[in-house]
Amino acid sequence: MLAQPQVVYLEALSRTARETDARVELLVRPLSDSQLGWHPTDGGWSIADVLEHLCVVYDSYDPLLAPRIDAPDVRRADEDAPWSPTLMGGMLVRSFASDRKLPAPKIFRPAPEPRPDVLDEFLAREQQLLERLARARTVDLQRVKLASPAARLIRINLGDALGILVQHARRHFGQMARVRARVGFPAD
């Protein structure tokens, strides 16, 4: 991927996150608890499990993001500074665009029982992510580094981490839509 101004990248991520959130809200809000908790017969995740997984992933990344965006001594850059993904970050984000099934690392697997009000919990995290994207405009997305919460040896830049969260939620919206469209999904 060619370098692009980080402000352009962040605006694209924000737009994608808002679109995904709206689509998730439309798909999931009307569902009953039994529909949210319905598991496909092949043993896949329920819609509530997917939302729980997204919350777990966000909660794993957020403690790494907060100090890298909000600390007063964080490395700054102009909004038009170039940004490009690291090799690993780019590969991770591209993998989320694939329809290929990807196993969740153990650290990111959902709890056996999703938390109460899991849709609202997910949307609250997405709102927090949108706020972080807005505050990251003057942080040097290229040079601020962090380790992946799933594998500490994988080093990514801040722009990668933000892109991973946005594209990961987008990917899982597709999974939730496929679960809802499955034969056997409860009518109520």
Residue 188 lies in a domain: no
Domain span holding position 165: 4-181
Residue 23 lies in a domain: yes
φ, ψ at 139 (rounded to 5°) = -90, 145
Residue 112 CB neighbour total at 10 angstroms: 7
Supply the pLDDT for residue 3. 84
CA 148 centroid distance within chain: 13
What are 113-152's pLDDT values in tens digits?
A: 999 999 999 999 999 999 999 999 999 999 999 998 988 8
Residue 158 lies in a domain: yes
Residue 43 lies in a domain: yes
Residue 151 lies in a domain: yes
Sign of the C-alpha dihedral computed for residues 43, 108, 55 and 4 taken in this order: negative
Report the number of distinct structural domains present in the chain. 1
Helices (H), 29-111: 33-36, 47-70, 87-95
Q: What is the CATH number of the domain that holds 122?
A: 1.20.120.450
Residue 187 lies in a domain: no
The answer, as to whether pTM is greater than 0.75, is: yes
What are 61-103's pLDDT values in tens digits?
A: 999 999 999 988 888 888 889 999 999 989 888 888 877 887 8
Residue 186 lies in a domain: no
